Amino acid sequence: MFDCLFVPLSYFYMISMAALAVILPREIVSILRSPKEHWALIVCIIGFVGGSCIFLFAPTEYAMATTLKRQVLDGRVFGYISFFCAGPFFYFAILMTLPSERRRARR
């Protein structure tokens, strides 16, 4: 049922991850200069990126996979929406809260 939906949502997810991977190295110095000020951003970045990597690469066998991973593999709506649709919006939200974006918004 969702075979044709998987490819566009995967591209949307990959584009958001690529945008984070391109922009984050440029911003990491300003984030790490004042970790007390940006602690929530650091936790969000580690949590979302680490969680995505664990979700994608951890248990490779279907029987050991988490419930969300099984839902994605089975093609259920909740799995697709929660991972492939909500995930990129969280990454774009992280990008919008980076220090350089805040400076641009104040101008």
At 65-100, the pLDDT tens digits run 777 777 777 777 777 777 777 777 887 888 888 877
CA-to-CA distance for 75 and 46, rounded, in angstroms?
27
pTM as predicted: 0.64
- Determine the average pLDDT of the residues in 18-43: 85
How does pLDDT run across 2-12, given as a tens digit for each residue?
A: 455 567 777 77
SS (H, E, C) the chain: CCHHHHHHHHHHHHHHHHHHHHHHHHHHHHHHHCCCCCHHHHHHHHHHHHHHHHHHHCCCCHHHCCHHHHHHHHCCHHHHHHHHHHHHHHHHHHHHCCHHHHHHHHC
